[in-house]
Structure 1
Amino acid sequence: MRFNDVLRIGALAVLVAMPISARACAGLTDGPRGTVVSVADGDTIVLDTGMVVRLIGTQAPKLPQGSEDFVAWPKAEAARAALETLTLGKQVIIRYGGETMDRHGRTLGQTYVLGSPEIWVQQQMVAAGLARLYTFADNRACSGELMAAEGKARANRLGIWSDPYYAVRRADRPDDLAQRSGHYELVEGRVLQADTVQGRVYLNFGRTWKQDFTAVIDRAALALFSGSGIDPLQLGGALVRVRGWVDVHDGPRIAVTHPEQIEVLAYK
């Protein structure tokens, strides 16, 4: 049996074990329909109309996509195979909850396999542990449902959550985090201090701000936080989980552009 066949059988087993229907995200706008003719990776499909659809709200393990220097992330082929099992040859509808196209010309939307009931593709992939929540300031719809699905998959160590590559990192280990610069990470820890400097909010997770991990919330993001129910300046002492791309500038940090990047696990 070929390796790709094994992946497809494994992906089918995971998806069959899940509920056939999934509660749809409310408040979306109907977009185009089409039949899926190919699956590029675990979060990108191509329709018979030629439309390339990026499954917004999720990030699946990445494949090289022709880049010779890029090393596939663990479980990338399994994620692609699962999405193939779920969508290939099937009619889908794309629904919008934010920006509808990215700079690469890909359509951005929540994707549903048509039928009775419909199947919400993003939720199924996240619930199987083959994608994780990945939102943008201009595309945040459905994040609550997807975060709940991710939490269950992570607790049950499904898919990517069984691999150390995707482990939730500790905020109190800045040297380890610095080694993950350029990677998208989930970082968990207790905020030592929340402070405002030149219009930005800094969540400091250690006493030495030039070495320890920091989450930086910019001015534009603060306007979004005002309607989210989270006041960043009240997070001192809170246990939080921050998600985003790690870089290093006076220690490892994550730039926070919207509230969905921060989960408050406990205030004290």
Structure 2
Amino acid sequence: MIELNRLRGQRVFKEYWPFPEKIGAEESVKGFAARNWMFSVVWLILLTVPSVADEAGRAERDAISACVADNAHTGTLVERSANGEFVAGTGQRFLATDIDFLPAENASHSSSNIGDDPKGSQTLEAIPAGPANRWGLIPAWIVVRNGDTLELLQADELETGGAIFVPERASGSCARHLRQAESSAREQKTGIWARGKDAPVHSVTDLENLEAAAGNYVIASGRIVSLGKTRSTRYLNFGRYWKTDFTVTLKASDEDRFDAILSQNGWRIENLANKTVEIRGVVQVRDGPLIALRHPEQLVVIEDKRAGRGG
């Protein structure tokens, strides 16, 4: 790409640059300046194209580096099955960790091109991220190789609106890359985020829809009204009536883990009262809708305190 644009640049240079020998005595200074301006604009455009592509490629490499870390050498070649699993020739079955694909019958998302490879030049590698679950599925980072190009399937699915970010193993820069990919799709209302009121995002005051979403992974945003705690549990209360209002819990033993992440932006669990947050997790119904947090990346404080007020 860079070499091609260099050649293009040479052609533009030869065609538009006003060499002194091509400027006749009849050409005005104004004409000379105009031709110089034309060359400058075209040259700037050609220089910008590879830099944008390089930036996109760099983001993909950064995501892979951040999430896969030192486990890249343990990759297993897999094929994507119709049910969303990734199957190796040995029969091992993998699932893409840290994302959740919505049921096909409910999703009107634009699927990514990963797995659609008529020329057979694409390969998928599963990098185990943890032990197999009770169904024998191994959570894994899925790396897509197209020649010399590498992509992280999770980031691609999130960016095209094909999945929702489900923090389970991602942390630090890996979590930031995945959240940013999802945010891009949400901002552009792509894929599952184009579903309007049916998108998996709810206000913490919309109790009816939250209860209707029981068993599903959703995002809920709003203001924490009060905090509570017992020896074993911390409570984030989003209403004054805990028997009916939305509640979020986390284990007291996990509080330090959450504080370690929150403190990067100046927050702690104990000072989140009256703060606007975004919560993600599986909705349960226990004296009103509830989400139990397991991973610090499930809780994000929204800096704009006005967001989410009033539901």
Superimposed CA distance per residue, residues 54-107 of structure 1 (whole angstroms, 9 cap, x where no aligned partner):
0101111135xxxxxxxx33237x64x7443279953233334x4242222122
Task: Give 1:189-268 correspondences, 5 Å limit.
Answer: 189-228=222-261, 229=263, 230-266=267-303, 268=305
Match of 2:82 among 40, 45, 53: 40
Q: Which structure is richer in relative contact order (CA contacts within 8 A, separation 6 or more)?
A: 1
Counterpart check, 1:50 vs 2:91: yes
Give 1:8's aligned residue: none
Is the alpha carbon distance of 1:176 and 1:50 closer, same or farther for their aligned partners in structure 2, counting shifts above 3 Å? same
Q: Which runs of 5+ in 1 are unaligned?
A: 1-18, 64-71
Give 1:5's aligned residue: none
Is the alpha carbon distance of 1:117 and 1:190 closer, same or farther for their aligned partners in structure 2, counting shifts above 3 Å? same
- Structure whose residues are more often strand by fraction: 1
Partner of 1:124, secondary structure, is helix
**Letter matched to residue 182 of structure 2:** E
Decide whether the 8 Å contact of 1:39 with 1:88 is kept in 2: no
Decide whether the 8 Å contact of 2:99 with 2:164 is kept in 1: yes
Structure 2: how far apart are the matches of 1:201 and 1:55? 30
Give 1:122's aligned residue: 154
Is the alpha carbon distance of 1:250 and 1:50 closer, same or farther for their aligned partners in structure 2, counting shifts above 3 Å? same
Partner of 1:212, secondary structure, is coil
Task: Give 1:124-163 correspondences, 5 Å limit.
Answer: 124-136=156-168, 139-141=169-171, 142-163=174-195
Structure 2: how far apart are the matches of 1:143 and 1:88? 33
Partner of 1:135, secondary structure, is coil
Superimposed CA distance per residue, residues 1-28 of structure 1 (whole angstroms, 9 cap, x where no aligned partner):
xxxxxxxxxxxxxxxxxx5671324224
Q: State the number of aligned residues.
A: 236
Structure 2: how far apart are the matches of 1:119 and 1:244? 26
Counterpart check, 1:172 vs 2:205: yes
**Letter matched to residue 192 of structure 1:** V
Decide whether the 8 Å contact of 2:76 with 2:125 is kept in 1: yes
Superimposed CA distance per residue, residues 39-62 of structure 1 (whole angstroms, 9 cap, x where no aligned partner):
234x52223332222010111113
Q: Deviation at 1:248?
A: 1.2
Counterpart check, 1:112 vs 2:143: yes
Q: Deviation at 1:219?
A: 2.9
Partner of 2:241, secondary structure, is coil
Match of 2:102 among 32, 38, 61: 61
Partner of 1:85, secondary structure, is coil
Deviating more after overlay: 123-132 vs 158-167:
158-167
Structure 2: how far apart are the matches of 1:110 and 1:252? 31
Decide whether the 8 Å contact of 1:33 with 1:91 is kept in 2: no
Over aligned residues, Cα RMSD in angstroms?
2.6
Decide whether the 8 Å contact of 2:232 with 2:253 is kept in 1: no
**Letter matched to residue 187 of structure 1:** A
Structure 2: how far apart are the matches of 1:180 and 1:92? 33
Decide whether the 8 Å contact of 1:40 with 1:46 is kept in 2: no
Structure 1: how far apart are the matches of 2:93 and 2:237? 40
Q: Deviation at 1:117?
A: 2.4
Superimposed CA distance per residue, residues 223-242 of structure 1 (whole angstroms, 9 cap, x where no aligned partner):
42142235222111111110
Structure 2: how far apart are the matches of 1:35 and 1:225? 35
Q: Which runs of 5+ in 2 are unaligned?
A: 1-55, 306-311
- Structure whose residues are more often helix by fraction: 2
Give identity over the alignment, percent.
Answer: 24
Superimposed CA distance per residue, residues 165-203 of structure 1 (whole angstroms, 9 cap, x where no aligned partner):
324101012233122222211101011112212331111
